[in-house]
Amino acid sequence: MPDIRPVRSALISVYHKEGLDRLALALHERGIEIWSTGGTRDFLEGLGVKTKKVEDLTGYPSILGGRVKTLHPKVFGGILHRAEHMDDLNEMAAHEIPPMDLVIVDLYPFEQTLLNGGTNAELIEKIDIGGISLLRAAAKNHLQCTVVSSARQYPRILNQILEQGGTSLAEREVYAAEAFAVTSHYDRAIFDYLNRDGLVPALRISNDDAHVLRYGENPHQKASFYGPLDQHFEVLSGKALSYNNLLDVDAAVSLLSEFHDPTFVVIKHNNACGLASRDHLTQAWKDALAGDPVSAFGGVLAANRCVDLECASAIDQIFYEVLIAPDFSAEAVELLSRKKNRILLRLKSIPPSGIQVRSVLGGYLVQDPDSVTESTEDFKVVTRVAPQPSEIEDMVFALKIVKHTRSNAIVLVRNRQLIGSGTGQSSRIDAMRQAAHKARTFDFDVQGAVMASDAFFPFADSVEVAFQEGIRAVVQPGGSVKDQDSIDFCDRNNMAMVMTGRRHFKH
């Protein structure tokens, strides 16, 4: 191949030695000159690979406890010189600088040290200077230098050297891009650690764990998921997760994490269309499904207990996209996996709630997650009539659901069961009417139910509709200039109203 640039010399300096032996031996057998440092050189010499000391090239030993080894013009000159520039070649000859065709370098494990609970002093020592400089230099000069920045690339570069003797420009460009991906991700991790108090108003996002999806929200949209999916889920059966599946899985797991009793959640288009907590999971499933058996078709289901055969047999009666649970009995897996497209996910751990980022207007909106859930300690009774203990329990239950429901949102709950919800409406009264209509459609008796709102009532009309439907207990944040109108209506009609003082918009 005419544009192949042969590899005649290499600089190797790595922290992780795994997988290096086969590549290094192949370079040695081909007579490629190898320069190396410290522990890497000891490792290579132990394999029988002849190397040259970088210290002999620079004329300086490794100093400052290894902080300075390769930071020298003779090293970087060998990487950064331009072979087509005669002035560069003359300077190389004058200063006795050997060319470096291949640079194999990885970085100190800063992120792993952080995950392992390393001290500040340990983390500082894992901030790589020489290695990251070598990677950037070799990547910059990819017109003639090949840079290998990860052990995952060893098989590829080995095949290219064995088959071609070197690399093409197109191949070097890929290596260079991968090297800058490594260095930018590394710098982001260090920045996030140093900026853990958020004093520097800057956003850096980096993730190398890419999962290419079949398509996005619609078939004509390309999509990928970046994140440690395997860390939190084990796929037991079914097809690959789609973009929309992942959105609903996130909604299901986030909502489910609010509940501790045996609970089943049914999600459709990011909203709960069914949810119930019971003493036994099978009954929780039946009551969650009863909340809206029509919308549950093709939905995402999630449970917080092991799904046994009894529960699986009940679930198997409907079509769903994804079923999530912390565990499944062997019999349940055998039954539910008979239909090959239905996805079974074992939830290994709840994904942590990080910052929330959305792209808008050519930029980004960033916020903390809504991690607050109200309890009875946050309740302020503002009416003459106080809610009954059973109503208070359902209010807490309803607030957990409405917090995870698209605004404007109204949720109706009775006996720890979602019986109606109004989601994503342009007015709160429309959300109330939708919730009541849902409840009536599926033959729920609204008498004795509680109503929860994600934000205050600007007028008393929503409370009036609730009263007409038979609801006698309401929980809402409060904060409207017309709060008193709603309170007065409740007092005139012996309704109980509780305010929490905290809104839960979800746009």
Least confident of 173-187, 188-202, 289-303, 389-403: 188-202
The confidence score (pLDDT) of residue 55 equals 84
92/363: higher pLDDT: 363
The confidence score (pLDDT) of residue 2 equals 63
Per-residue pLDDT band for 210 (boundaries 50, 70, 90) equals confident
Both tokens of 108, joined, read 């100190």
The confidence score (pLDDT) of residue 89 equals 84
Residue 187 has pLDDT above 90, yes or no: yes
Q: Strand order in 102-105's β-sheet?
A: 52-53, 33-36, 9-13, 102-105, 146-148
Residue 318 has pLDDT above 90, yes or no: yes
Both tokens of 205, joined, read 């996002």
Span 193-206, average pLDDT:
88
Span 430-452, average pLDDT:
94
Q: Give the contacts of 201 (CB within 8 A, at least 6 positions apart).
A: none
Sequence-distant contacts of 364-368: CB under 8 A, at least 24 apart: 364/203, 366/203
Determine the Cα–Cα distance for residues 189 and 226; give it in Å rounded to an integer.
16
Comparing C-alpha atoms, which of 16, 27, 71, 53 is closest to residue 182? 16
Residue 101 has pLDDT above 60, yes or no: yes
Residue 1 has pLDDT above 70, yes or no: no
The confidence score (pLDDT) of residue 3 equals 85
402/96: higher pLDDT: 402
At 279 the three-state DSSP class reads coil
> Percentage of the chain surpassing pLDDT 70?
100
Residues forming beta bridges with residue 413, ordered by sequence position: 418, 450
The confidence score (pLDDT) of residue 59 equals 78
At 480 the three-state DSSP class reads coil
Determine the Cα–Cα distance for residues 131 and 135; give it in Å rounded to an integer.
6
Q: Is the dihedral of CA 291, 295, 297, 301 positive or negative?
A: negative
56/132: higher pLDDT: 132
Residue 105 has pLDDT above 90, yes or no: yes
Per-residue pLDDT band for 482 (boundaries 50, 70, 90) equals very high
Least confident of 49-53, 245-249, 445-449: 49-53
pLDDT in tens, 451-473: 999 999 999 999 999 999 999 99
2/318: higher pLDDT: 318
**What is the number of other CB atoms lying within 10 angstroms of the CB of residue 218?**
9
Comparing C-alpha atoms, which of 169, 179, 171, 175 is closest to residue 143? 169
Q: Give the contacts of 219 (CB within 8 A, at least 6 positions apart).
A: none
Residue 289 has pLDDT above 60, yes or no: yes
Span 372-381, average pLDDT:
94
Residue 479 has pLDDT above 60, yes or no: yes
The confidence score (pLDDT) of residue 28 equals 92
With vertex at residue 359, the alpha carbon angle to CA 358 and CA 364, rounded to the nearest 5 degrees, is 85
Both tokens of 409, joined, read 């949102």
**What is the number of other CB atoms lying within 10 angstroms of the CB of residue 336?**
24
The confidence score (pLDDT) of residue 69 equals 76
Give the global pTM: 0.83
Per-residue pLDDT band for 330 (boundaries 50, 70, 90) equals very high
Least confident of 228-232, 436-440, 460-464: 228-232
Q: What is the DSSP letter of 64?
A: G
* CB contact at 8 A, 202 and 195: yes
CA distances from 237 to 240, 337, 339 (A): 9, 6, 9
Q: Give the contacts of 179 (CB within 8 A, at least 6 positions apart).
A: 135, 136, 138, 139, 147, 149
Q: What is the residue whose two structure tokens read 């990487």? A: 79
Q: Give the contacts of 255 (CB within 8 A, at least 6 positions apart).
A: 265, 267, 272, 275, 302, 400, 401, 404
* CB contact at 8 A, 19 and 44: no
Residue 363 has pLDDT above 70, yes or no: yes
The confidence score (pLDDT) of residue 53 equals 86
With vertex at residue 71, the alpha carbon angle to CA 139 and CA 43, rounded to the nearest 5 degrees, is 85
pLDDT in tens, 152-175: 999 999 999 999 999 999 999 999
Q: Give the contacts of 209 (CB within 8 A, at least 6 positions apart).
A: 226, 227, 228, 229
> Percentage of the chain surpassing pLDDT 90?
74
Span 346-370, average pLDDT:
89
Span 256-281, average pLDDT:
96
Both tokens of 53, joined, read 């000391």
Output the average pLDDT for the chain: 92
The confidence score (pLDDT) of residue 197 equals 86
The confidence score (pLDDT) of residue 193 equals 92
Burial label, 374 (beta-carbon count in 10 A; 0-12, 13-18, 19+): buried
* CB contact at 8 A, 421 and 397: no
* CB contact at 8 A, 462 and 453: yes
Burial label, 480 (beta-carbon count in 10 A; 0-12, 13-18, 19+): middle
pLDDT in tens, 384-420: 999 999 999 999 999 999 999 999 999 999 999 999 9
Q: Give catalytic residues, as residue numbers.
A: 140, 269
Q: Which domains does the chain have, with CATH numbers?
A: 5-194 (3.40.50.1380), 237-347 (3.40.140.20), 376-499 (3.40.140.20)
